């Protein structure tokens, strides 16, 4: 009896310590997510909100706050239908008492902390406990994908929370609540419907095969419904490359050490592969999606990668090594390497655009006559937000994307004035907006390339705004 | 007290030292063929001088763009220059370091073959890989230290089961990583080794896996720290070093003839034979380590991820290490066959082929290197700039003379052969060509204004490379401030804006 009592007390003490460590991890996550904002507010003259897509969501939330849910987005050539997204509504409602900027900062951070908590609980349900669970969560918090997703307002932050909380409810056998929450994720787009299908199929393949057939029919009905009106719309322009996966190579994914640890985790977990069917299926689906479509799926992939890299790190740290000195050195390197990737990424976010020059130039443009602004599509959201003028393309899909994207490229790279003028006429372009990033490799390297060369023609173009970093040209129609 | 020590002068050691001395002698013969160093060597020279003066290398001062690099080799040279004149240190020390590969090749080869004669053959082959001599004798290249470090690491890796080699491996790995990013080649070769063993149905030992994991982590992290800015700017394209497409010919694919000439016929054939035999017929872990490294170099060459000379140099050294195994097998076979009595004749024949295809090309390089070394007239012009120009001057020169501007004149250069962190390299190279070939004075002055250039250094070689006799636009607005035997320096007298 005495022994048993001591064991229970020890277990309780262990649980207490684990909880305490988890609270510390939540605090670390909070600091990590707020760090870019703090840096921008205290040490730079840049606007507090950063990122490109951020300004789209803030603009839509502001429109909802000011009136009703918009039917279309007029700040893009030929306008784009707006499909209802729950994130914008939540952001709008939170903005009413807090103001749009504060709400845009706090909402993703709050969603991140809640997601982390549910992730912690889900891991527990799978029997991943103690140091292993804490390591996985710590690696998640340190991953650039997590920081990127939950430090900027975006719908995926809310979708992830819904997945985790819904799935946790299902694991706790509160199936109805779980399904209701999970079904809400269908409102986020076709990708989310597919992800839900993969998640549930993987889960019921392991748990209960009888429910599998029912689930498949149920899911297909929902996916068909979702596909009907969400197909492709509202999703970002795909930009896939392996480099964008690696944060140390300028991407938004994961540090190089996380990849090495993940590889180790995959090798080590293979012996117990039947216990990891769900993360394997999600890894396969998400990495395929990231490879072909890039971008936003990284937010979801971050959780799966954290599972495997955490397993890898746990195994490396807990196993007995033939060369103990090498083990200590390796662990030291891993900690330093992970910290380096994280700090470096947070610094990059803090220094990312838009800069003060971009804001002042676009605010100036707001005061000018209305007209379509041509620029690189990655500047689109900023132009829409700060100047209130329509653009040819922004980061989201449009119906005639291929043609419009091709024409944008043609205008940017052609040195033929007649061809450029014809395309500018076709889209009724009035202003051409060029910033530093376009001249430093995003579009051109040399000042006599493509459009930069064509702009020398005074007959067609007039510079109406110019600083070291930004130029705005007016196109004089024939 | 009588020392109870016997120093055994074993014949193989005497021969090994003789091979080392022969290799060193041939390197010094090449190095002292000219009093100067190759053009790119002046970057290393400038760094050594910076370390001597400030204890720190200079990653960005006076260069047209930041130049990140691994500085251990430069610290080593700066250290030796405390005890001897700098010029002598720069001519001799890199060659001693590179020649020390002979000892390490002996150790690795002996570990593989357990045959002293075979190991000696490997050592001699490594000592006379022509491309290794071309690339390191007079270039102050960090490869002179990186290659012996890599061979030492291979040896320690083969004996990683013994505790004393673990610490040595760790220390040498850090040394290699801080010498040159080619440490990544070494660790990727080790990863390939695990893969090769797995494919062949064998397993790496636990100690090997542990040291390999550490090596991967350490080298990747340190290289990322030093080249962070370049990695963020270029991502995976960093392997191409931001070299514009038309200059990328340096990375062009190689032909077998090229490889045979630069590596040496005998070394090439012997290395390929061992690779074939141990990939398809027999299995030996120690040989597979070196084979994996060779295959990794071949893969990098095929993918154009490494400069041709550097790739062939590593390939040549690894094939040379393996050639001992071929030597052992060949003579073992010959000894058992009916042709055993022809052994002396075959030995003489092989020695002759080795001398003709490995030693001779190395020595003949002394004559052909003159095109890659600045003339005394060119150096005098850059020296003149150091004494006369103001410290804030920006000096225009041909791309390969850029390091001379910084190292000899102590002035900011317009461009040099390191493009890694240049944001406008295409524009700069295009403007450089325009300044050599422009007809219009306005064009030239506009370019000079936009880069704030103070002087134009024009060498006969730079003009000859472009089939131009002289600059066409220097009649009125430029004055000749220096005129040497093969170099002229112009200073602009007007500005477009004024």
Gap from B224 CA to chain A (nearest CA, Å): 8
Check CB contact under 8 Å for A330 and B217: yes
Best mutation site among B166, B217, B218 for testing chain A: the one with the most A CBs within 10 Å?
B217
Report the residue of A243, A249, A312, A449 to disrupt the B interface, i.e. the one with the largest count of B CBs within 10 Å. A249
Q: Find chain B residues with C-beta within 8 A of A326's C-beta.
A: 166, 170, 210-211, 214
Residue B5 in any domain: the answer is: no
d(CA A131, CA A434): 51
In terms of Cβ atoms closer than 10 Å to its own Cβ (0-12, 13-18, 19+), residue B239 is middle
> SS3 sequence, chain A?
CHHHHHHHHHHHHHHHHHHHHHHHHHHHHHHHHHHHHHHHHHHCCCCCCCCCHHHHHHHHHHHHHHCCCCCEECCECCCEECCCCHHHHHHHHHHHHHCHHHHHHHHHHHHHHHHHHHHHHHHHHCCCCHHHHHHHHHHHHHCHHHHHHHHCCCHHHHHHHHHHHHHHHHHCCCHHHHHHHHHHHHHHCHHHHHHHHHHHHHHHHHHCCHHHHHHHHHHHHHHHHHHHHHCCCCCECCECCHHHHEHHHCCCCECHHHHHHHHHHHHHHHHHHHHHHHHHHHHHHHHHHHHHHECCHHHHHHHHHHHHHHHHHHHHHHCCCCCHHHHHHHHHHHHHHHHHHHHHHHHHHHCCCCCHHHHHHHHHHHCCCCCEEECCHHHHHHHHHHHCCCECCCCECCCCHHHHHHHHHHHHHCCCHHHHHHHHHHCCEEEEEEEHHHHHHHCCCCCCCHHHHHCCCCCCEEEEEECCCEEEEEECCC
Residues B355 and B411 in one domain: no
Same domain, B363 and B384: no
Answer with the one of B342, B369, B396 that is the final residue of a domain: B369
Per-residue pLDDT, B342 = 83
Size of interface A-B (CB pairs under 8 A): 84
- Give B238 to chain A, closest Cα distance, Å: 9
B424 contacts A446? CB cut-off 8 A:
yes
Residue B1 lies in a domain: no
Which pLDDT value is given to residue A116?
97
Residue B433 sits in a domain of what CATH number? 3.40.50.12610
pLDDT of residue A1: 41
Same domain flag for B114 and B207: yes
- Same structural domain, B321 and B385: no
Residue of A162, A146, A156, A62 lying closest to A104 (CA atoms)? A62
> Both B327 and B187 in a single domain?
yes
Domain closes at, from B369, B399, B424: B369
Instruction: Tell which of B163, B209, B210, B227 to mutate to test the A interface (max A CBs under 10 Å).
Output: B210
Q: Which domains does chain A have, with CATH numbers?
A: 2-50+84-350 (no CATH), 356-475 (3.40.50.12610)
Chain B CB contacts of A249 under 8 Å are: 231-232, 235-236, 238
Classify residue B4: in a domain, yes or no: no
Q: Which residue of B has its CA nearest to A442?
A: B233
* Same domain flag for B341 and B426: no
Predicted pLDDT of residue B307: 84
Find the domain containing B462 and state its range. Answer: 376-492
Q: Are residues B434 and B476 in the same domain?
A: yes
Let me know whether B281 and B427 are in one domain: no
Contact list, B222 vs chain A (CB under 8 Å): none
Give the per-residue pLDDT at A142.
Answer: 94
Q: How many domains does chain B have?
A: 2
Query: Looking at the domain assignment, is residue B27 inside a domain?
Result: yes
Instruction: Tell me: do B321 and B180 sit in the same domain.
Output: yes
Taking the CA atoms of residue B465, residue B470, residue B473 and residue B479 in that order, the dihedral angle to the nearest 10 degrees is 120
Domain boundary among B339, B369, B399: B369
Q: What's the CA gap between B120 and B100, in Å, rounded?
A: 13
**Is B363 a domain residue?**
yes
Pair A330, A437: CB distance under 8 Å:
no
Where would I find the H helices in B128-255?
Answer: 130-136, 143-158, 163-179, 183-199, 206-226, 228-234
Contact B217 A241 (CB under 8 A): no
- All residues of chain A having their beta carbon less than 8 Å from the beta carbon of residue B225 are 340
Q: Does B236 touch chain A (CB under 8 A)?
A: yes
Question: Which residues does B181 contact at the CB level (< 8 Å), separation at least 6?
Answer: B70, B223, B226, B227
Nearest by CB to A446, which of B166, B235, B430?
B430
Q: Please name the residue of chain A whose CA is at the shortest distance from the CA of residue B224.
A: A248
Q: Which residues of A touch B224 (CB under 8 A)?
A: 248, 256, 337, 340
Interface test with B, best of A261, A445, A447, A456 (most B CBs within 10 A): A445
B348-359: buried (b, 16+ CB within 10 Å) or exposed (e) per residue?
A: eebeeebeebbb
Contact A447 B427 (CB under 8 A): yes
Per-residue pLDDT of chain A (478 residues), as tens digits, is 444 555 566 566 667 788 899 999 999 999 999 999 999 999 888 999 999 999 999 999 999 988 878 888 889 998 888 877 899 999 999 999 999 999 999 999 999 999 999 999 999 999 998 899 999 999 999 999 999 999 999 999 999 999 999 999 999 989 889 989 998 888 887 788 888 888 888 888 777 666 666 666 666 666 666 655 555 444 556 565 556 777 777 777 888 899 999 999 999 998 888 888 899 999 999 988 887 776 788 999 999 999 999 999 999 999 899 999 999 999 999 999 999 889 989 999 999 989 999 999 999 999 999 999 999 999 999 999 999 999 999 888 777 888 888 899 999 988 888 899 999 999 999 999 999 889 877 888 777 788 998 898 888 999 999 888 899 999 987 6
Taking an 8 Å cut-off on Cβ atoms, the answer to whether B236 and A249 are in contact is: yes
**Is B225 near chain A, with CB under 8 Å?**
yes
- List the single residue in A242, A316, A344 with the smallest CB-CB distance to B228: A344
Q: Is residue B497 part of a domain?
A: no
User: Does the structure's ipTM exceed the value 0.85?
Assistant: no
Asked, for residue B2, whether it belongs to a domain, the answer is: no
DSSP structural state of residue B425: H
Question: For position B255, what pLDDT does the model report?
Answer: 75
Do B292 and B431 share a structural domain? no
- Whether residues B417 and B291 fall in one domain: no
Given A241, A260, A446, which is nearest B217 (Cβ)? A260
Q: Give a yes or no: residue B358 inside a domain.
A: yes
Q: Is B198 on the interface with A (CB under 8 A)?
A: no
Q: Are residues B331 and B382 in the same domain?
A: no
Chain A residues touching residue B166 (CB < 8 angstroms): 323, 325-326
Report cis status (omega within 30 of 0) of the bond before A354. Answer: yes
> What stretches in chain B show pLDDT beneath 50?
1-5, 498
């Amino acid at each position: 009896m005495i022994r048993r009592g001591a064991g229970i007390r020890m277990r309780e003490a262990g649980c207490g310590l684990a909880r305490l460590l988890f609270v510390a991890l939540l605090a670390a996550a909070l600091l990590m997510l707020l760090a870019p904002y703090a840096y921008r507010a205290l040490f730079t003259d840049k606007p507090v909100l950063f990122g490109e897509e951020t300004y789209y969501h803030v603009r839509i939330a502001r429109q909802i706050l000011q009136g009703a849910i918009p039917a279309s987005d007029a700040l893009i050539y030929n306008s784009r239908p707006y499909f209802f997204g729950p994130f914008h509504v939540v952001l709008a409602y939170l903005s009413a008492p807090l103001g749009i900027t504060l709400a845009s900062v706090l909402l993703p951070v709050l969603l991140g902390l809640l997601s982390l908590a549910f992730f912690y609980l889900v891991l527990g349900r799978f029997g991943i406990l103690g140091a292993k669970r804490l390591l996985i969560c710590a690696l998640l918090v340190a991953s650039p994908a997590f920081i990127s997703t939950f430090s900027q307002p975006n719908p995926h932050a809310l979708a992830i929370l819904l997945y985790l909380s819904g799935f946790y409810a299902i694991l706790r056998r509160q199936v109805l609540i779980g399904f209701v929450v999970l079904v809400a994720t269908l409102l986020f787009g076709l990708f989310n419907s597919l992800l839900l299908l993969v998640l549930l199929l993987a889960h019921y393949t392991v748990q209960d095969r009888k429910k599998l057939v029912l689930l498949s029919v149920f899911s297909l009905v929902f996916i068909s419904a979702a596909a009907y009106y969400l197909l492709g719309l509202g999703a970002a322009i795909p930009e896939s490359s392996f480099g964008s996966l690696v944060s140390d190579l300028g991407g938004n994914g994961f540090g190089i050490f996380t990849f090495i640890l993940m590889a180790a985790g995959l090798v080590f977990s293979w012996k117990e592969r039947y216990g990891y069917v769900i993360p394997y299926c999600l890894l396969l689906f998400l990495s395929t999606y990231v490879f072909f479509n890039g971008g936003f799926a990284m937010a979801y992939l971050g959780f799966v990668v954290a599972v495997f890299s955490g397993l890898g790190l746990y195994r490396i740290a807990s196993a007995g090594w033939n060369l103990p000195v090498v083990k200590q050195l390796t662990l030291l390197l891993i900690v330093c390497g992970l910290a380096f990737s994280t700090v470096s990424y947070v610094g990059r976010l803090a220094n990312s655009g838009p800069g003060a020059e971009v804001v002042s130039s676009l605010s100036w443009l707001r005061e000018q006559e209305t007209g379509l602004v041509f620029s690189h599509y990655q500047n689109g959201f900023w132009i829409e937000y700060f100047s209130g003028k329509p653009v040819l393309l922004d980061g989201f899909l449009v119906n005639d994307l291929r043609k419009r994207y091709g024409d944008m490229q043609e205008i940017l790279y052609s040195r033929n004035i007649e061809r450029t003028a014809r395309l500018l006429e076709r889209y009724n372009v009035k202003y051409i907006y060029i910033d530093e990033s376009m001249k430093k490799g995003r579009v051109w390297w040399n000042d006599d390339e493509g459009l930069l060369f064509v702009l020398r023609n005074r007959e067609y173009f007039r510079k109406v705004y110019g600083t070291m970093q930004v130029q705005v040209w007016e196109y004089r129609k024939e | 007290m009588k020392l109870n020590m016997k120093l055994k002068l074993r014949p193989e050691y005497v021969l090994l030292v003789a091979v080392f001395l022969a290799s060193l002698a041939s390197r010094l013969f090449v190095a002292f063929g000219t009093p100067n160093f190759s053009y790119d060597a002046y970057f290393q020279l400038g760094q050594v001088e910076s370390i001597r003066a400030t204890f720190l290398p200079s990653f960005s001062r006076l260069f047209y763009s930041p130049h990140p690099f691994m500085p251990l080799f430069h610290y080593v040279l700066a250290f030796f220059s405390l005890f001897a004149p700098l010029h002598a240190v720069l001519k001799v020390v890199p060659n001693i370091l590179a020649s020390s590969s002979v000892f390490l090749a002996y150790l690795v080869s002996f570990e593989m073959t357990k045959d002293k004669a075979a190991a000696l053959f490997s050592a001699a082959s490594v000592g006379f890989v022509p491309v290794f001599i071309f690339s390191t004798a007079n270039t102050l290249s960090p490869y002179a230290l990186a290659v012996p470090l890599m061979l030492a690491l291979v040896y320690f890796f083969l004996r990683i089961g013994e505790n004393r080699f673990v610490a040595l491996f760790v220390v040498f790995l850090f040394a290699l990583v801080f010498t040159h990013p080619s440490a990544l080649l070494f660790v990727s070769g080790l990863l390939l080794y695990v893969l090769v063993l797995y494919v062949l149905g064998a397993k790496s030992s636990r100690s090997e896996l542990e040291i390999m994991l550490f090596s991967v982590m350490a080298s990747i992290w340190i290289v990322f720290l030093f080249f962070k800015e370049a990695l963020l700017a270029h991502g995976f394209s960093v392997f191409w070093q931001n070299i514009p497409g038309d200059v990328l010919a340096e990375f062009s694919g190689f032909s077998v003839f090229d490889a045979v000439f630069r590596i040496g016929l005998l070394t090439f054939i012997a290395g390929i034979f061992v690779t074939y035999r141990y990939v398809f017929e027999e299995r030996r872990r120690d040989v597979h380590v070196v084979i994996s490294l060779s295959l990794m170099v071949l893969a990098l060459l095929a993918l154009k991820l490494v400069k041709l000379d550097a790739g062939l140099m590593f390939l040549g050294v690894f094939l040379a290490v393996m050639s001992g195994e071929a030597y052992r097998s060949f003579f073992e076979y010959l000894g058992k066959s009916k042709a055993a009595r022809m052994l002396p004749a075959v030995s003489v024949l092989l020695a002759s082929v080795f001398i003709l295809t490995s030693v001779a090309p190395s020595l003949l390089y002394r004559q052909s290197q003159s095109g890659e070394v600045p003339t005394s007239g060119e150096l005098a012009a850059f020296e003149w700039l150091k004494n006369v120009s103001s410290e804030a001057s920006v000096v225009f020169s041909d791309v390969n003379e850029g390091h001379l501007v910084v190292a000899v004149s102590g002035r900011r250069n317009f461009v040099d052969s390191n493009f890694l962190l240049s944001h406008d390299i295409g524009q700069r190279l295009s403007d450089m060509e325009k300044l050599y070939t422009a007809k219009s004075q306005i064009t030239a002055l506009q370019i000079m204004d936009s880069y704030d250039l103070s002087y134009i250094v024009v060498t006969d070689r730079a003009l000859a490379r472009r089939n131009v006799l002289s600059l066409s636009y220097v009649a009125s607005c430029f004055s000749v401030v220096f005129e040497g035997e093969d170099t002229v320096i112009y200073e602009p007298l007007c500005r477009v804006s004024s």
